[in-house]
Amino acid sequence: MNIFAIVGRSFLGFLATIGNIAVFTGKAVFHTFAPPFYFRLLWRQIVSVGYYSLPVVGLTALFTGAVLARQIYIGTGRIGIESAVPTIVVFGITRELGPVIASLMVAGRVSAAMAAEIGTMRVSEQIDALQTLATNPFKYLIAPRILATALVLPVLVFIGDVIGVMGGYFMSTELLGFNSSAYLRNTIDFLEVADVISGLVKAAVFGFLIALMGCYHGYRSDGGAQGVGRATTNAVVSASILILAANYIITELLFAQ
């Protein structure tokens, strides 16, 4: 087969996907802010995404904070500035690791669940049924999920930040010999509001991307059970890649000198 034909077809397919995602995003955003609003469904999604993600986010943050403290202690020990551990831990958690790791964990749980649920609704004609009942699937299915995830993820990340810092605190005070009050003072004294806010802004964007990818791949799934499985995988992979790419872009926008 002609190599140019293969490359050309792949490129056109890529452009078509970009176009489809752009159209889907436009419709999703429009229907998120245009009435009617389904507050009952929004609340159900807030509970599903927020409350049920707390254990996974909390545990991940706790261990990440502890490991981070240990590694920074080793690194700073080489140049004799171990006292910087509290500052670097809180800086790293609030600005980067808190939002990114929590979002990746939520992407694995929530994006997959959304793709599977909406994909199953698609292949079992439930989305068609919604339409014949004069209900817009974007308003009923997509908008509550996107809004709920974008609202809830900053809250989850904030909780994750606190638990992550505490993970570093316990590691440092229990195993690395840091003084408890000195550690907390160093943590608080060098922490700026902008550090926390930037992480929460990232979390809101990541939440939007997680729900968008879950809904997009679920909504466009076809081919029965295999198609739903493919949609679930694609949702998690694309959400994870977009989180990392968006993290770079937001960091550049917020912190480039």
Partner 1 sequence: MSTIIPKISLRGVTKSFGDNLVLDKLDLDIMPGDSVVVIGGSGTGKSVMLKCILGLLDADAGSIKIDGVETMGMSTRDREALLRRVGMLFQGSALFDSLPVWENVTFGLLSAGTISRKDAWGIAATILAKVGLGRQVCDLRPSELSGGMQKRVGLARAIATSPEMIFFDEPTTGLDPITADTINELIVERVRDLGATTLTITHDMASVRKIADHVSMLHDGKIIWSGPVDQIDQSGNEYLEQFIHGRADGPINADPNTDKIT
- Interface residues with partner 1 (CB under 8 A) are 117, 121, 124-126, 128-136
| Of 129 and 225, CB closest to partner 1 | 129
Q: CB of residue 41 vs partner 1: minimum separation in angstroms?
A: 10
Q: CB of residue 120 vs partner 1: minimum separation in angstroms?
A: 8
* Number of Cα atoms under 13 Å in the Cβ half of residue 7: 3
E strands within the chain?
none
CA-wise closest residue to 60 among 92, 108, 98, 91: 98
Q: CB of residue 127 vs partner 1: minimum separation in angstroms?
A: 9
| Of 71 and 126, CB closest to partner 1 | 126
How crowded is residue 223: how many other Cβ atoms within 10 Å of its Cβ? 12
Q: CB of residue 56 vs partner 1: minimum separation in angstroms?
A: 22
User: Between the CA of residue 234 and those of 22, 172, 213, 222, what are the distances in Å?
Assistant: 17, 39, 8, 13
Enumerate the H helices of 95-192 as residue ranges: 98-106, 112-123, 126-132, 137, 143-174, 180-189
Q: CB of residue 130 vs partner 1: minimum separation in angstroms?
A: 8
Contact of 207 with 153, CB cutoff 8 Å: yes
| Of 25 and 136, CB closest to partner 1 | 136
| Of 77 and 224, CB closest to partner 1 | 224
Positive or negative torsion for Cα 210, 211, 212, 217: positive
| Of 137 and 199, CB closest to partner 1 | 137
| Of 117 and 195, CB closest to partner 1 | 117
* Number of Cα atoms under 13 Å in the Cβ half of residue 116: 11
Q: Which long-range contacts (CB under 8 A, 24 or more apart) does 18-26 make?
A: 20/216, 20/220, 21/216, 24/212, 24/215, 24/216, 24/219, 24/220, 25/212
| Of 117 and 161, CB closest to partner 1 | 117
User: Between the CA of residue 95 and those of 100, 139, 192, 226, what are the distances in Å?
Assistant: 9, 33, 10, 39
DSSP 179: -
Q: CB of residue 25 vs partner 1: minimum separation in angstroms?
A: 18
Q: CB of residue 48 vs partner 1: minimum separation in angstroms?
A: 11
